[in-house]
Structure 1
Amino acid sequence: MAKNKSEETPLMQQHKAIKARYPDAVLLFRVGDFYETFNEDAVIAARVLGIVLTKRANGSAAFIDLAGFPHHSLDTYLHKLVKAGYRVAVCDQLEDPKTVKGIVKRGVTEMVTPGVAVNDKLLENSTNNFLAAVHFGEHATGVSFLDISTGEFFVAQGNTEYIDKLLQSFRPAEVVFAKQQQKNFRHLYGTRFYTYTLEEWIFTTTYASEILLRHFETHSLKGFGIEGLDEAIIAAGATLHYLKDTEHPNLQHITNIQRIDQDDFLWMDRFTIRNLELLHSSVENGKTLLSVLDHTVSPMGARLLKRWIVFPLRDIMQINERLDAVEFFIKQADLSKTLHHHLKQVGDLERLVSKIPLKKINPREVLQLARALQQVAAIQELLHKNGNAYIERLNEQLNPCPLILDTILRTISDNPPVLANKGGAIREGVHEELDKLRTIANSGKEYLLQIQQKESEATGIPSLKIAFNNVFGYYLEVTNAHKNKVPPEWIRKQTLANAERYITPELKEYEEKIVGAEEKITVLEVQLFEQLLSQLQEYIQPVQINAQVMGKLDCLLCFANNAIQHKYRRPNVTDSEVLDIQEGRHPVIEKGLPPGESYVANDLLLNKDNQQVIILTGPNMSGKSALLRQTAIITLMAHMGSFVPASQAEIGLTDKIFTRVGASDNLSGGESTFMVEMNETASIINNMTPRSLIILDEIGRGTSTYDGISIAWSIVEYLHDMTPFKPKTLFATHYHELNELENKHHRVKNFHITNKEVGNKIIFLRKLASGGTRHSFGIHVAKIAGMPPQLIQRANEILSQLESQHIDAPLEQTMKDIASPPPKMQLSIFDSHSDTFKQMREMLEAVDVNRLTPVEALLKLNEIKNLLS
């Protein structure tokens, strides 16, 4: 039976009205000193937060579920709800309950979702928290990325694959798009993102342009370089709309919008970012390129380094600017050490300044902002006319903002409280009335002690004391042993078991002075702090530029320290199409080696003239995959502007790195390992260019041997002969038959990873050598992996029989022989006098085994198999 509205309490009627506006959010409803949740929200809160779920009567209607927590615990519990994937609406009291008769006015002051979090407990210092919006246009898809905690705002548009790469690179905490596009988004980009849908009318050019122009207070978007990018503009407009929708009206720190141009950066699709383990490892707690390179000392540097890794440069001049700066810091050891010291003390300047318009910054953080500006001034002086053009250009962008810096230091006390209303945030001498009130408050308390001493002497009560409580303020307390000495003019207020409490007119008079002064002090301090924040609003953009420059300097200094510590060398990035690496190493594997063990370095050359495609063979676990990945990573690091783990490297400018490494199913999409492999390989073939670097590992192994060899063979031939691009290619394989390609195609070269057999053991030398190999040592790998001895022994027996019989016997019969242990005497399969076996014998006798290639042998074996069937 439905509840009658009149049966509900006024409080619950108010709650119901507010909840109706935020039906998909957990509503935290402020009631006195608690945030309460009701009904289905209470069930969620109790489960996620581990708080007690209770029931209480709601007027005469029914009982409702209830769960709550103290208001001062909001940050802790809010963090847990959002991390659990819930949208949370924080509903506060908008009036002072003391001054209101009846129900207090309430309203939602903040909506918190994974993509619009600004609370420190919801954020990681080294990671951006991006909100993304995607708009599917007719000819292109637009996307925007905004971090409300830093003010960074990026837009781009392009095809589906490009947007997929951007989503993988930025890894947004939340993605919004039009409701009608939900099925389309999931089909294209899967379910790996937290998503929210908006109404279709928001995704229009007119509305998006209006909201952006209004926000940036400009007449056009030309100044941002995004004019004409209609789909990207629509996505950006949807982002700002969503922020307003989630009660975030104060966005003055979003001062710029930047275009991401695909042609500016070395392209890596999301498979390559995953396969090279740039940001995330495929194994738990595994090392990544980021974890090895990241020795930044500021949060801005840590966040920027991630972007530099997934967006390497393609402009030689910009690359060399970074390399020159890194070399400068290596040579200027003393300057680098001093800069490192200053950068460590800057803190998260970018997020601090973004808290100003959001009204989330506290007095202690304002003081930290001032100290950061002091470091900016010191860095500016340190880097003045240093001789490096790029660093001098960065240095010119710094602005220590001396006027506001001086204002902060003159206004905020040396040890301010976290909250402005706690008192003591404003320095003495800032405001005359505030100083007077503080004198009254402090001297008033001293006068209370004088009253206590005076009354004690007048009454002869030695144990008399003055205290305070919230019920009746200041009072005199007398133990029962002395209550007969109490003067008649004292007014008794409370009787305790061992004492009585009294007040006097004099005491009440001074209480009013003290309490009144303390209340006025709180109001004044809050006012003065808000005035300071208003002044700080004007400095948001220059402070943000300071933070961006700090991030760049931090990353460059980090590259210099990495080069010194890990013996990295400066690469020579050229306009050629040559990749020539001398003594290259894998930076992540090298870092993980046991103490005392050195990495086996390798030389590698790829060019368009005589070594375009390398077919790489070698035993399992010998280091083929490591060599493939280190080649890609060294190329990538050079384009980042970092020194590389090699003694010398010429890196021809590369526009795309493709990798097809490892096997994985897409079961949810109904795709097998082989289908995923073919999809990724097809994407490479269809998107490569003359300046691409292609890394292929074990292509074709997801299907039958014949199919696999055929596909792998044809891929190599296609890359060599059937495309004019001639992309540089590394192809690791277990199909030793591919070694034949070297004899047929002059730009295909065979290489292998060497090993040495000592007794029954195989020692992997991990050294690259020319020529192919025909042994995978799979059983040896199974042995060192811990397989039972009986299993290893049987595997060797089967291998021996296969190797000795695969030429002389049909495969089916060979497998039958293997399946059952051989008798002491075994007849030849050719003892049968059937026509089929005679025909088989004739076919085999006609084969010249010494001149038979492995591929021809397999084809002959298939012919015999077909004869049997």
Structure 2
Amino acid sequence: MSLSPMMQQYHQAKEAAGDALLLFRMGDFYELFYQDAKDAAELLGITLTARDKGDAARGIEPTPMSGFPHHQLDQYLARIVRAGRRAAICDQMEDPKQAKGIVRREVTRIVSPGTLTEDGLLDPKSSNFLAAIVPAGEQTGLAWVDVSTGRFHAAAMATDRLSDQIVRIAPSECLLSDDLPDPADLPERCTRTRRPGWAFGQQVAAEALKKLLGVKSLDGFGFEEDSERDALAIRAAGAIVDYLQETQRSRLGHIDRLLPFENESTLQIDAATWRSLEIAHTLRDGRREGALLGVIDRTVTSPGARLLAEWLRGPLTDAERINGRLDAVAELVDAPSLTDAVREKLRAVYDIERLVSRVTTGRASPRDLSCVGRTLAGLPALKAKLSGRSSERLAQIEQRIDLCPELRAKLEAALEDDCPHQARDGGFVRPGFLPELDECRELMAGGKQWIAKYQAQQVEETGIPSMKVGFNKVFGYYLEVTHAHRDKIPDSFIRKQTLKNAERYITPELKEYEEKVLSAEERVKEIELRVFAELCEQVIEAGRRLLSTAAALAELDVLAGLADLARSRAYTRPTITDAPVLDVEEGRHPVLDVMQPEGQFVPNGVSCAARTEDPEALLNSGAPKPDTRNPETSPSLLLITGPNMAGKSTYIRQTALITLLAQIGSFVPAKRATVGVADRLFARVGASDELSRGQSTFMVEMTETARILNTATRRSLVVLDEIGRGTSTYDGLSLAWAIAECLHNDIGCRALFATHYHELTDLADQLDGVANRSVAVHEHQGDVVFLHQIVEGAADKSYGIHVAKLAGVPRGVNQRAQEILSKLESQHDAETQLTPVEAQPVVSKPAAPADGLQLQLFDAYEHPLVDKIRRLEIDGTTPIDALLMLREWKESLGS
């Protein structure tokens, strides 16, 4: 069966679209054909039909077809992208009414999860990153861009750090070479897009970048092409540019800088810590609400919300920069009327970053331009509010706000207050802006008046009272005269049609007016589109100034939001020091403090300092001396014991989160806090396994712990919870003991170690830098009340059976557990206890008989536990008693 010209056109477009679903514009619908139609019907829930009946005799099946109305494009695009698919939009490039033959169509854009720019398809509070990865052994190149804002970063990093950065930027799409396997570090929700290997080549990538950025060298952006390390970053960034040029098919002028990502200038947070501390999303359901970001976000603009998330992704490690932010927050906290006024002004600010992006890529609407103008109109008052501020940061923000007065004036003069979403709808240019446009509009609006006036004039001149002006699509405007007045027709009338009772005529004046009226509507659209294009060009020309202003406004929004948070939640300004100390009085968990009823959360303090061979260096570092201890006696490692549900995990998490908040430049939930800047933050809290990689919970725990021990420095902060619980008791206890020793002896960093291994508390007697802390518990008549208060000393019980009771474990199970516990405790012999520091001496096995006739499956060991089992009375021993004793024996034997 031969293809029609239109279907030939479709196949050409499909070849350009590749694996993307091709949305082929046909009149008022976007249609899909063949396999695309089947996929779309299932994915979008639309009807699958057929374009033709096929040819059964020749074995040709009907052509599958599905589609949807063109005005529902954004709605269906969102569903396609959420499913991780790409969509190619093939639009009509000319008006079907004016087309000579088949309408010309072209693929104008390929939409993918990482290339979205429309507000309706994006989360306004979250960045949407497209990433590219170039692995090269121990080093990996990584680049990421938010096409909706133009923010473009690249870096080369150790391959084992890749997963940390991937978790933090959370790309929605990642470009990978088609000749390399998938990295194991990509999150499941990230769409993997395969690209040809040559797109990642260094020369191709460097040239693509330089062409996009309009430069001859990348040195000015901090990338040396001759550097082997920088070359990886350049290759990743160039692959992104190549992909964007292929998919966007428009200008990318808003992407005008490539920013190097410097790991050294930010607090390093690995993937496990990011998840454990629930910084951006909760562990249970991945929501923003209930995570740290959701609780502290008081921003009132979308760019501000995205910037706050960026600050959390990369807290500062420079005390001077941190204090610069804190100075600004402090000034706003001390001036609540200023803060409220600034936030009120910011509420009227639109998302300039994404507006400029849409204008640059040719996807803007008249309403977008109007939003730019409205934002500029509100800037003078906002700028005035910042005039004369004492903090350097606020003064810099005030200077960076560019009012762009000439652009504002043009937009306000040209655009109506209420502009349409589509330029083709027209009606968005103000009257009086362009005389030519006003004339056409008057012609359209005044047609009836002119016709009535002309008709009256002709009646008077000819003396034909029944003459009237009419219109039809064949002849246009005409004058109709009955045959009774035929002799009064002037010579200037031109006969066009004879009817039964009348004649129809035209005149040169009527024909001229007809041409004006019929073309007026088209002229109005044409003029308005020309004005729209000119305004877009002016916005593009001011693009860099607008983006700089947008960045300043976003920072102001974050600082004002942090000030509002501090004032409303009674946060205090932390003292920031380079000394590796941490001293917090009455600290609170920033999330639970908000989620729990007012006043219910129990505050707790912490005081620790990294170990040093020169205590005087800490004393003279400028760090405030802690209230209860000094650097000579402050422990580096706090061992926290206590029952489940008492608050151990909350306590260590809140310590980490307070440090993180301080290093983004925020006030912290505490009565007083001194925070020594950390270079790395590690948190191993909670259990998880990665079955897809064949890793058990314990394997994941040990892998993450190994990474901490191998990469933490003296300036790091480490919080660990229940290390070693995923294996046998003595294995776990031994590992926990050795890990604690390593943190204290080898690394010497500030560390909080929550554990149920009460044996670890002996470390406080053996190591000078270890101190015991426990969660206070009140026990009365068999009931236990958790006080959630951290006190000095070690806990003496775990209260696990009581927690099981609170959790709803059946009463019979709890009673039986209590019986078993009592029996085990009564049989406990302190003299036979093994400790991981002083192991029991190994007892040699008895030699086999000389004749070699005695065969045994297990040789008899002489061990106190064996005697305990032997002494059990058979009649009074339950299976679980014997099982527990045998397990204890097995653990004591080791391997």
Q: Which band: TM-score by shorter chain?
A: 0.7 to 0.9
Q: Secondary structure of the residue that 2:444 maps to in structure 1?
A: helix
**Shift in CA distance, 737/80, structure 1 to aligned 2, threshold 3 Å:** same
- Structure 1 equivalent of residue 236 of structure 2: 235
Q: Contact 2:729–2:891 (CA<8 Å) still a contact in 1?
A: no
| C-alpha displacement of 1:841 | 9.6
Which one of the candidate residues 8, 19, 31 is aligned to 2:3?
A: 8
Which one of the candidate residues 739, 746, 754 is aligned to 1:732?
A: 754
| C-alpha displacement of 1:487 | 12
Structure 1 residue 52 corresponds to structure 2 residue 47: yes
- Structure 2 equivalent of residue 655 of structure 1: 679
Q: Contact 2:761–2:794 (CA<8 Å) still a contact in 1?
A: yes
Spell out the pairing of 1:575-594 with structure 2 (5 A cutoff).
575-594=578-597
Which one of the candidate residues 398, 412, 418 is aligned to 2:401?
A: 398
Deviates more, 1:681-690 or 1:7-16: 7-16
- Structure 2 equivalent of residue 700 of structure 1: 724
Q: Contact 1:9–1:59 (CA<8 Å) still a contact in 2?
A: no
Spell out the pairing of 1:523-542 with structure 2 (5 A cutoff).
523-542=526-545
Structure 1 residue 777 corresponds to structure 2 residue 820: no
Tell me how far apart the structure 1 counterparts of residues 645 and 246 of structure 2 sit (CA, whole Å): 54
Q: Secondary structure of the residue that 1:400 maps to in structure 2?
A: coil
| C-alpha displacement of 1:167 | 1.0
- Structure 2 equivalent of residue 497 of structure 1: none
| C-alpha displacement of 1:648 | 0.5
| C-alpha displacement of 1:23 | 2.8
Q: Which amino acid aligns with 2:201?
A: T
Q: Which amino acid aligns with 2:749?
A: P
- Structure 2 equivalent of residue 797 of structure 1: 819
Tell me how far apart the structure 2 counterparts of residues 505 and 439 of structure 1 sit (CA, whole Å): 23
Q: Which amino acid aligns with 2:20?
A: A
| C-alpha displacement of 1:247 | 3.4
Q: Secondary structure of the residue that 2:656 maps to in structure 1?
A: helix
Structure 1 residue 24 corresponds to structure 2 residue 19: yes
Tell me how far apart the structure 1 counterparts of residues 606 and 533 of structure 2 sit (CA, whole Å): 62
Per-residue CA shift, 1:710-741, capped at 9, x if unaligned? 100111112222x1x30111110111111111
| C-alpha displacement of 1:97 | 2.7
**Shift in CA distance, 741/374, structure 1 to aligned 2, threshold 3 Å:** same
Q: Which amino acid aligns with 1:339?
A: V
- Structure 1 equivalent of residue 623 of structure 2: none
Structure 1 residue 710 corresponds to structure 2 residue 737: no
Q: Which amino acid aligns with 1:316?
A: A
Tell me how far apart the structure 2 counterparts of residues 475 and 704 of structure 1 sit (CA, whole Å): 101
- Structure 2 equivalent of residue 498 of structure 1: none
**Shift in CA distance, 487/640, structure 1 to aligned 2, threshold 3 Å:** farther
Tell me how far apart the structure 2 counterparts of residues 865 and 89 of structure 1 sit (CA, whole Å): 62
Spell out the pairing of 1:414-493 with structure 2 (5 A cutoff).
414-447=417-450
Q: Secondary structure of the residue that 1:696 maps to in structure 2?
A: strand
Q: Contact 1:9–1:58 (CA<8 Å) still a contact in 2?
A: no
Tell me how far apart the structure 2 counterparts of residues 130 and 810 of structure 1 sit (CA, whole Å): 60
Q: Secondary structure of the residue that 1:121 maps to in structure 2?
A: helix
Tell me how far apart the structure 2 counterparts of residues 146 and 389 of structure 1 sit (CA, whole Å): 30
**Shift in CA distance, 865/331, structure 1 to aligned 2, threshold 3 Å:** closer
Tell me how far apart the structure 1 counterparts of residues 120 and 863 of structure 2 sit (CA, whole Å): 79
| C-alpha displacement of 1:492 | 11
Q: Secondary structure of the residue that 1:798 maps to in structure 2?
A: helix
- Structure 2 equivalent of residue 752 of structure 1: 774
Tell me how far apart the structure 2 counterparts of residues 215 and 582 of structure 1 sit (CA, whole Å): 52
**Shift in CA distance, 556/840, structure 1 to aligned 2, threshold 3 Å:** closer
Tell me how far apart the structure 1 counterparts of residues 250 and 660 of structure 2 sit (CA, whole Å): 41
Q: Secondary structure of the residue that 1:181 maps to in structure 2?
A: coil
Q: Secondary structure of the residue that 1:749 maps to in structure 2?
A: strand
Q: Which amino acid aligns with 2:350?
A: G
Q: Contact 2:166–2:185 (CA<8 Å) still a contact in 1?
A: no
Tell me how far apart the structure 1 counterparts of residues 159 and 779 of structure 2 sit (CA, whole Å): 50
Spell out the pairing of 1:210-609 with structure 2 (5 A cutoff).
210-227=207-224, 228=227, 229-284=230-285, 287-447=290-450, 512-594=515-597, 596-607=598-609, 608=611, 609=632
Per-residue CA shift, 1:330-353, capped at 9, x if unaligned? 112222222111111111111111
- Structure 1 equivalent of residue 203 of structure 2: 206
- Structure 2 equivalent of residue 144 of structure 1: 143
Per-residue CA shift, 1:360-390, capped at 9, x if unaligned? 1111221110111122222222212222222
Q: Contact 2:575–2:673 (CA<8 Å) still a contact in 1?
A: yes
Q: Which amino acid aligns with 1:259?
A: P
**Shift in CA distance, 775/471, structure 1 to aligned 2, threshold 3 Å:** farther
- Structure 2 equivalent of residue 40 of structure 1: 35
Per-residue CA shift, 1:429-469, capped at 9, x if unaligned? 222221211111111134457799999999999xx999x99
Tell me how far apart the structure 2 counterparts of residues 156 and 605 of structure 1 sit (CA, whole Å): 36
**Shift in CA distance, 588/455, structure 1 to aligned 2, threshold 3 Å:** farther
Structure 1 gaps of 5+ residues are 478-482, 495-501, 812-834, 848-857
Q: Which amino acid aligns with 1:202?
A: A
Spell out the pairing of 1:181-196 with structure 2 (5 A cutoff).
181-183=180-182, 185=183, 187-189=184-186, 191-196=188-193
Structure 1 residue 99 corresponds to structure 2 residue 94: no
**Shift in CA distance, 685/101, structure 1 to aligned 2, threshold 3 Å:** same
| C-alpha displacement of 1:400 | 0.7
Q: Which amino acid aligns with 2:561?
A: C
Structure 2 gaps of 5+ residues are 490-494, 612-631, 834-858, 872-883
**What percent identity do the matched residue pairs reach?**
40
Q: Contact 1:674–1:703 (CA<8 Å) still a contact in 2?
A: yes
| C-alpha displacement of 1:864 | 9.0
Deviates more, 1:52-61 or 1:765-774: 52-61
Spell out the pairing of 1:87-126 with structure 2 (5 A cutoff).
87-126=86-125
Say how many residue pairs are matched. 812
Q: Contact 2:16–2:107 (CA<8 Å) still a contact in 1?
A: no
**Shift in CA distance, 493/309, structure 1 to aligned 2, threshold 3 Å:** farther
Which one of the candidate residues 764, 767, 772 is aligned to 2:789?
A: 767
TM (norm. structure 1) is: 0.87
Q: Secondary structure of the residue that 1:97 maps to in structure 2?
A: coil
**Shift in CA distance, 780/52, structure 1 to aligned 2, threshold 3 Å:** same
Q: Which amino acid aligns with 2:810?
A: P
Q: Secondary structure of the residue that 2:52 maps to in structure 1?
A: strand
Q: Secondary structure of the residue that 2:356 maps to in structure 1?
A: helix
Deviates more, 1:335-344 or 1:446-455: 446-455
Q: Contact 2:728–2:891 (CA<8 Å) still a contact in 1?
A: no
Q: Secondary structure of the residue that 1:303 maps to in structure 2?
A: helix
| C-alpha displacement of 1:476 | 13
Tell me how far apart the structure 1 counterparts of residues 243 and 163 of structure 2 sit (CA, whole Å): 22
| C-alpha displacement of 1:118 | 1.2
Tell me how far apart the structure 1 counterparts of residues 485 and 48 of structure 2 sit (CA, whole Å): 51
Deviates more, 1:46-55 or 1:575-584: 46-55
Q: Which amino acid aligns with 1:361?
A: A
Structure 1 residue 642 corresponds to structure 2 residue 666: yes
Tell me how far apart the structure 1 counterparts of residues 61 and 599 of structure 2 sit (CA, whole Å): 73
Deviates more, 1:645-654 or 1:52-61: 52-61
TM (norm. structure 2) is: 0.85
| C-alpha displacement of 1:536 | 2.0
| C-alpha displacement of 1:21 | 2.5
Per-residue CA shift, 1:307-360, capped at 9, x if unaligned? 111210000000000000000111122222221111111111111111111111
**Shift in CA distance, 616/686, structure 1 to aligned 2, threshold 3 Å:** same
Q: Which amino acid aligns with 1:785?
A: A
Tell me how far apart the structure 2 counterparts of residues 335 and 17 of structure 1 sit (CA, whole Å): 60
Tell me how far apart the structure 1 counterparts of residues 83 and 342 of structure 2 sit (CA, whole Å): 40
Q: Which amino acid aligns with 1:728?
A: R
| C-alpha displacement of 1:861 | 9.2
| C-alpha displacement of 1:203 | 1.3
| C-alpha displacement of 1:17 | 2.2
| C-alpha displacement of 1:520 | 0.9
What's the RMSD between the two structures over aligned residues? Answer: 3.6
Spell out the pairing of 1:596-635 with structure 2 (5 A cutoff).
596-607=598-609, 608=611, 609-610=632-633, 611-635=635-659
